Structures are given as structure tokens and as C-alpha cells.
Amino acid sequence: MLKYLETTTDDTTTDVHLSKLSRRGFLGIAGAFTLAAYGGRAEAFETYKTGAAAMPRGIVDDPLVFVSIDSDGTVTLVAHRSEMGTGIRSSIPMVIADEMEADWARVTIVQAPGDEPKYGNQDTDGSRSMRHHIQAARRMGGAVRTMLARAAADGWGIDPADVTVEMHQVKAPDGRILGFGELAETAMAQPVPSHEEIAYKTDAEFRYMGKGEVQITDLRDITTGAAVYGADVMLEGMKTALIARPPVVGGKAKSFDASKALEVPGVVAVHELPYGGLAQKFAPLGGIAVVADNTWAATKGRDALEIEWEAGPHGDYSSTQFMEEMKATAEKPGSVARDKGDIEDAFAKAARTFGQTYTQAHMAHIPMEPPAAVAHYTGDALEIWAPVQSPYTARLDTAKALGLDPEQVRMNVTLLGGGFGRKSKADYVTEAALLSREVGAPVRVQWTREDDVRHSFYHTTSAERIEVALDDAGQVTGWRHRSVAPSIKSTFAPDDGLPMPLEQGMGMTDLPFDIANIRCESGKAMAHTRIGWFRSVSNVPHAWAVGSFVGELAHELGRDQRQMWLDLIGAPRVMDPTADGLPEDFWNYGEPMQEFPIETGRLAEVLNRAADGIGYGRNLPEGEGIGLAVHRSFVSYVGCAARVKLVDGRITVPEMHLAIDCGFAANPERIESQMQGAAVMGMTLALHSGITYENGAVVQSNFYDYDVVRSDNYPRNVVTHIVEHPFSVHATGVGEPGVPPVAPALANALFAATGTRRRSLPMGAQV
């Protein structure tokens, strides 16, 4: 079962019980760690700046907040990031445990509620959990190890520099030993040492970091059905609600008749919720809620509602027509975001030009667990249990919606049955809270799959036009990229049709190619549905366009695909924001460029590793082809080499190699699982996933018309190559960077296999 932190006391060990985890043996672990070189090994961990400080409520690295030790030796570590499948609920505590010399088998993990003033930023998105928190985790682990050593040395009357800390024990030179449990009280009462006072491990002394031998903490519970997700929270007297939401965003019920719904046995109430729309952040869409004793009664009750909807301002939205408009916009000059050299001159002097347009439909996240939340309003307090990526935001938003002080709201975080960005937007939490207040009982709001497909915060739709100027020798002298896509901004503020620098920076303005003249422009596209972030965000359409175009350009110029990529990337260099003409407001995933620069050598390296891995260049049978793509996103570099084989006209993927450079690889086993997952999600969005609109409403509704990759046709053999680095090469993103290069690699492979070029996502599974 998922364990929650008690907030009634600061003693986080309350109600926490030892849970021995089944795990594989740890072979070849590092030896004992001694504090002998006290303060002499700070160079083992040179701190560096990240964007963490700029996140709301930043970083908290107080070990007394995150670490507690029970007298029986149980070490309790707080996971403050949300677990949606990346393994982060285990990986950050693993870093603490490693630096602390705690035995992982004696570590219990408790999930923090949404409380950023206490824990620091908890937004689990942007592939930044490890990137932002690995330093704090090491610092806290090192601090507690130091405190344990000092407590033991005090008791023994010896110099702390002479004690050794190893696997849950502190040892004196004369052989005396004290366990962490025995030292718990005196150790945790020690002053917390500063960074300079801590003798950190060298890389060679890491026990868990970089090894990939620690299993995720929830593994057993997941396989026995005991793991607790949002809908699994059962409270005494709890009711279940299903909501009929307006089919068109910004619409509302003109009239409704609930009498038949109320006749359904088990239905206890019908309530109309306040309506939302665009530019209202994560506010619920409103609608008619049926509250019942159980899910089945609520389902039948909702089916029995008679509602006449009015569409509101977006009732004319047609995604087919909108796509034609976006493509036309992409033909015209837009707002300039990056301007390197003189693009007009490059095109004026070009021997020839070459251009193509690539499109992408809206997409929905459809995590296996549709949104669900449990809320219990008791007049002066509100307690919530929900699968949320941003628990503190959910808490603040819901408090505001109910007119409560945030201090009156407790936001418990369950496991997330997938998130992919959808569960950063907790409209479902607010719905549950509003309904609990209405009915005076705990309420679970359950979204059906149809609700999820039709009422999401969708991935943007886009048209991307890329055109190059070429000289006589076929060298690219100018690159112009025009992107047209409704912006996430429209969810937060009145729309002006233009994107934010952070969207432009995801794969367009950061183009790492060595070309003298580059211009990136954005055309206007107004949002007509709620636009939200989806795993990898704007990198998906940008990498799709850039990666496909490189493949097309290679063919156009009669060059080898791999050589085309390497020619465009150029010699290994660190991009210079000024010389490369990056925008002044360039968004480097929130990270300082000095610490997290764009290094083209790393890009070429992952491309080559993927290409070499798959045996690029070898002879293949008729109907097979290899495609390549490489992309930097979330400060990591991923190369993808995919082999496509046509079987009875169906696109199959017998083999895919993903090479990732994410700096120091803290948990390689979970990095591999994220790459395997990225291959599947990338193939899904390449072949299957498209949300379309007619008369303002989503056309699709469930897996029969919004299909995903299944085990009958998945990337069959995904091989992950991880570029190894020491800790000093900063850890970067893992959850998202694998996705963007997959679709263009598949399109390039399809072309290599069949000569068919697809320029729209989804491209369809059949040829």
C-alpha cells in the first residue's frame, strides 16, 4: 500500500512500518566508506547551478525534512515528486540512500502531500526531477551520514574522521559498531553540516547510483494489486460521481432534465457545476454531475440525463479546415524568433531552394488510468487523494475554487496510472472537491475513457514549413523554419495566437545545425480547445518536421541519410548564443546555458551510436529500410535508428536503437525502461494517434477510434545505448527526450523501405 506522510506531526516515522523489499542481490558493490578524508573530498561533488532555484518555491535540501531514522534502523525517505512510471519515487530516494550509506532493504519511502513551502517545488514535469534534485539528494544523504558519524564519534570519544560508515552501520577503528537505529536519536539531533563540511563519495564509491540494480519501491504492490492509484482510495460513506461535460470547450447546458437520472436506483443527487473555458488555467469544464452510491449507478444515471447543450464560441471548430489555414499561414512570413546571418540574402543568392510542410494532429495523453480524484470536504477542511503531477498547484487551485485557505486543504498524492502531462492539470480534483461540498460526503469523481479522450488538455496541432537555400555544390546556405501551432499560453491567458519562447525553444529556435543563415518564425494560430503539454511538448512537431526534412533533403541531394545529418550538425562545437543568433529570450529548458550548453558533438555521438547499433548501411531485403533521427530535448541528446519492415502493407518495426546522453545516468535501469516506453509512445503517435474536431467537439472517444500500439505490433526489439558519464557531467532529462526522434526516424525508415514519404502525423499504420 502507498504510505502517506502524516502532517499532524513533524515526526515522519509515525505510522511508517518497515517494509522489506524483495530485490536482486547487489553484486560488486563499493567498499566501506570512511570519513577519514574529512572535508577533503568536496571536489568529489562540485555543485553547479540549475534552473531549480527559479522554479516556484525552489529546492529544499534540509535532511530533517526528507530523512528520518527509526530506532529499529528503518530509514524513512520522503518522495516529493509524483510517480507516474518514470521510477522517480524510487530514484531520488536511492540517491539519498547511496550518499547516506543506508541499506536500501531497510529504506521505506513515504509520499509527500502537496506542500511546496515544506518540500520545495513538486511539479513533476519537464523531465527535471533528477536534473534539479540529484544535488539536493546527495547533499541530504551526505549530511545525514556525517551526522551519524559525529554522533557515534561523540559517544565513543574519538575523532569523527576516524569512523567508517558502511551499509547502515558506523564503525570505530577498534571494531566497535553502532547501527543507524541505535544512533538515530543523537544523530538526528546533530546540527546539519554545511556542504563544505561533508566528505562526499567519489563516483567509484557509489553503491546504487549509476548501477541500475535497485528495483522500484512499488514493484511488489503493483504485481499483487495492492498499489494505490487515484480511484483506489475508498472512504467510509464515499459517493461516486460521473459528469456530463459540455462537448465543446466553453459551452454549457442550455437546459437539462435530471428526473430520469434521479430515478436510477443508487443515484443520490444531480448537480450542475460552474462552467469553464479557455484561458481559465485548469478550471473544470463544468457540466452536469450525477452522484451515486457506486460507479455503475452513476454511469446509468449519467446516461439517463437529458441535456441540451449550447456550444459557445468554439462551436465551429473544424480541425480539417483549421489545418488548411495553418498550412497557408506557414507559407507566409511570421513573427521572427531567431535570426542568424541574413536569410533573405541566402535565398536571393541560392542556386536552388527546397521546402516541405509537415503537419501534426492534436493528440491526447490517454494514460491507462483515466483522471480520478477523491475529495472529502468537512466544512472547515478539505482532504484530497488524487494522482496529480503538480500536487501543490492542485491544492492551491482547488482551495481557490472553493474559497478556502490553502492551509485548510490537504493534498495526498497517490500513484499515477500514467501522466504524460495530463495530470499536471487537476481539473478533476476541483470537480471532486466541489461535489463533496455539495453532497456533504466524500466523493470520488471518475472520468470514463470517453471523458478522457473528449475533455483533455490536448497536445497542440501544427503545420511546420521548412525551406532551405542551396548553393551550386548542394550545400545548405540558409534554413527557414515557419511554425504554426496554437499555444499552451491560451490555457492560461487570453490568446494572441503566438507561441511562448519555451515552445519555440523546444526543437525550433535551438536548431543545432551549422548553417550560416537561419531564421525561425512563428505564424498565428488561435486555440479552439484546451491546449496543454503532452510528453515532450513542442519537440514532437518540431522534431517531426526537422527530422523528416533532413531525410528528404538527403534524398533530394542524393546523399546518405547519416552523412546528411552529420553534415548539418557540423564539427563538434558548443553553440554560442550570440554567434548562433539565439533569441535573447531563448529558453534552454530553464537551465543556464553555461552549465547546460548545446553541444553538437554529443548530438553526433548519439546519432552514431544508434546508427552503428542497428548496423546502418547494411543490405536489407526488399520492403525493409532504416531511418535515422536525432534530437536534443530537456537538455538530453537522443539518437534513434529504426528499421521498418512492411508486412502485408502494414508498418512493422522489428528493431529500434535509442542512444541517450543524459549526462550522469543515475538509474540506468529506469532510463532503459523510459527509452523502451518512448519507442512505443513514439510509434503510437507516428502511426495511430490523432484527435480531430467537428463542430467544436472531439470526434474520437475510446480505443476503437483512438488506437495505440499494442503487443501485436510494437517496436519489437528496442536496444538502449546509454552514454556513460561521471557525476560531474550534469544529469539531465530522461522521461521525455526519447519520444521526439522516434516518429521522424520511422518516417525516414518507411521511405527507405518503400519510397513512400509521409508528412502528416499520424501517418497511418498501412501503406
Residues in contact with other proteins by the rule CB under 8 A: 22, 24, 83-87, 215-216, 218-220, 222-229, 231-232, 234, 240, 265-266, 294-296, 299, 366-370, 415-420, 446, 448-450, 669, 673-674, 676-681, 702-704, 708-712, 714-718
**For other proteins, the closer CB: 21 or 531:** 21
Residue 647 beta carbon to other proteins: minimum distance, rounded to whole angstroms: 13
Residue 290 beta carbon to other proteins: minimum distance, rounded to whole angstroms: 14
**For other proteins, the closer CB: 147 or 415:** 415
Q: Which helix (H) or strand (E) covers residue 257, if one does?
A: strand 252-257
Sign of CA dihedral 582, 584, 589, 590: positive
**For other proteins, the closer CB: 8 or 223:** 223
Instruction: Name the residue type at position 527.
Output: A
> Alpha carbon of 174 to those of 152, 155, 499, 650: distances in Å?
13, 14, 66, 71
User: Which cell numbers hold the place of 189?
Assistant: 539531533
Residue 541 beta carbon to other proteins: minimum distance, rounded to whole angstroms: 20
Q: Are 627 and 610 in contact (CB under 8 A)?
A: no
User: What are the residues whose beta carbons fall under 8 Å from the beta carbon of 197, sequence distance 6 or more?
Assistant: 39, 146
Sign of CA dihedral 127, 128, 134, 140: negative
The helix/strand/coil state of 756 is coil
**For other proteins, the closer CB: 449 or 555:** 449
User: Which cell numbers hold the place of 140?
Assistant: 541530504
The helix/strand/coil state of 152 is helix
Residue 385 beta carbon to other proteins: minimum distance, rounded to whole angstroms: 12
Instruction: Name the residue type at position 336.
Output: V
Among 710, 716, 719, CA closest to 653: 716
DSSP 57: T
Residue 698 beta carbon to other proteins: minimum distance, rounded to whole angstroms: 16
**For other proteins, the closer CB: 226 or 328:** 226
DSSP 405: -
Residue 25 beta carbon to other proteins: minimum distance, rounded to whole angstroms: 12
**For other proteins, the closer CB: 220 or 757:** 220
> CA–CA separation, 455 vs 475, rounded Å?
47
**For other proteins, the closer CB: 178 or 540:** 540
Residue 387 beta carbon to other proteins: minimum distance, rounded to whole angstroms: 9
**For other proteins, the closer CB: 289 or 709:** 709
Residue 226 beta carbon to other proteins: minimum distance, rounded to whole angstroms: 7
**For other proteins, the closer CB: 260 or 555:** 260
> CA–CA separation, 508 vs 500, rounded Å?
12
> CA–CA separation, 539 vs 634, rounded Å?
9
> CA–CA separation, 519 vs 534, rounded Å?
26
Q: Which residues of 125-149 are buried (b: 16+ CB within 10 A; e: fewer)?
A: bbbbbbbbbbbbbbbbbbbbbbbbb
Residue 703 beta carbon to other proteins: minimum distance, rounded to whole angstroms: 4
Residue 215 beta carbon to other proteins: minimum distance, rounded to whole angstroms: 6
Beta-sheet pairing, 352-360 with 462-470: antiparallel
**For other proteins, the closer CB: 240 or 608:** 240
**For other proteins, the closer CB: 448 or 460:** 448
> Alpha carbon of 36 to those of 161, 167, 171, 200: distances in Å?
4, 17, 12, 11
Residue 286 beta carbon to other proteins: minimum distance, rounded to whole angstroms: 23
Residue 766 beta carbon to other proteins: minimum distance, rounded to whole angstroms: 17
Among 83, 678, 684, 125, CA closest to 366: 684
Q: Angle at CA 595, nearest 5°, toward 590 and 600? A: 95
Angle between helices 600-614 and 561-569 (to 10 degrees): 170
**For other proteins, the closer CB: 715 or 762:** 715
